């Protein structure tokens, strides 16, 4: 592939993977991906992102605590930040419902199957068994512009991973369980727990990984001005 084709392929082939092979990721490659992500733009070069690479011992403690809370039916508590609107409206409601039920359909989880949904939540809290588990935070006193910068860092990291033959999944669920994440990873109160990221090689046999979300055509969200 030409450089242009390689970039386009990495962008188009990237998707949220929800089942990973146990194949390890070389530490040197992971560091390279993080270095590439750090080239993301940020207003006045503030570089507001903060990243934690979760090692085996810390990950075991974190996952055990999260799964124990899930099994006990404990509610995560107040949201760390509001990811979704209080009231969904169209077209966002239909898109959200479709991708959700498309995923659960692949998993064999039907409406009202609380145990099936709980199993999928548990997999999410285990970083879908990916070999690499990351946690992203941002200082609480920063404004929306810095959150945009953090989003660009995350996307650059995901595309860099894809370009190097790795798959990924950004995971907002950890923000819901932020008190546990904060405690187990020693994250100070002045940092907001934004999301986790799982990285590794996709398990091509896993039903969940057959999900390919639909994308809106350019005409659906673009206005061409003369």
Residues of 87-98 as b/e, b for ≥16 C-beta within 10 angstroms? eeeeeeeeeeee
User: What's the pLDDT score for residue 79?
Assistant: 84
User: What's the pLDDT score for residue 191?
Assistant: 98
User: What's the pLDDT score for residue 123?
Assistant: 98
For residues 202 and 167, the answer to whether their CB atoms sit within 8 Å is yes
How far apart, in whole angstroms, are the C-alpha atoms of residue 106 and residue 108? Answer: 6
Query: What is the value of pTM for the model shown?
Result: 0.96
How far apart, in whole angstroms, are the C-alpha atoms of residue 202 and residue 20? Answer: 4
Question: Residues, the chain, total?
Answer: 226
Domain ranges in the chain are 17-80+125-209
Tokens of 163: 């370009």
Q: Tokens 């995971």 correspond to what residue?
A: 171
Per-residue pLDDT of the chain (226 residues; tens, 9 = 90+): 999 999 999 999 999 999 999 999 999 999 999 999 999 999 999 999 999 999 999 999 999 999 999 999 887 667 899 999 999 999 999 999 999 999 999 999 998 999 999 999 999 999 999 999 999 999 999 999 999 999 999 999 999 999 999 999 999 999 999 999 999 999 999 999 999 999 999 999 999 999 999 999 999 999 999 9
C-alpha separations of 16 from 124, 129, 172, 208, 219 in Å:
12, 14, 12, 10, 24
The CATH-assigned architecture of domain 17-80+125-209 is 3-Layer(aba) Sandwich (3.40)
User: What's the pLDDT score for residue 78?
Assistant: 77
Instruction: List CB contacts of 101: < 8 A, sequence separation 6 or more.
Output: 111
SS3 at position 115: helix
């Amino acid at each position: 592939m030409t450089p242009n084709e390689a970039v386009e392929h990495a962008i188009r082939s990237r998707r949220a993977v929800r089942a990973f092979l146990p194949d390890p990721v070389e530490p040197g490659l992971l560091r390279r991906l993080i270095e590439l992500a750090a080239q993301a733009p940020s207003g006045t070069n503030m570089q507001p992102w903060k990243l934690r690479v979760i090692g085996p011992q810390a990950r075991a403690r974190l996952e055990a605590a999260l799964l124990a809370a899930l099994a006990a039916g404990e509610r995560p508590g107040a949201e760390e930040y509001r990811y979704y609107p209080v009231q969904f409206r169209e077209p966002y409601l239909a898109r959200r419902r479709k991708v959700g039920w498309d995923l659960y359909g692949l998993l064999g989880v039907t409406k009202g199957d609380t145990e099936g949904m709980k199993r999928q939540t548990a997999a999410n809290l285990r970083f879908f068994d990916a070999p690499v588990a990351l946690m992203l935070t941002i200082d609480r006193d920063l404004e929306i512009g810095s959150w945009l910068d953090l989003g660009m860092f995350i996307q650059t990291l995901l595309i860099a991973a894809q370009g190097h033959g790795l798959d990924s999944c950004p995971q907002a669920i950890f923000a819901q369980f932020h008190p546990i994440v904060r405690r187990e990873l020693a994250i100070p109160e002045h940092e907001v727990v934004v999301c986790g990221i799982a990285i590794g090689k996709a398990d091509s046999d896993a039903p969940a990984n057959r999900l390919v979300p639909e994308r809106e055509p350019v005409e659906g969200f673009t206005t061409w001005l003369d």
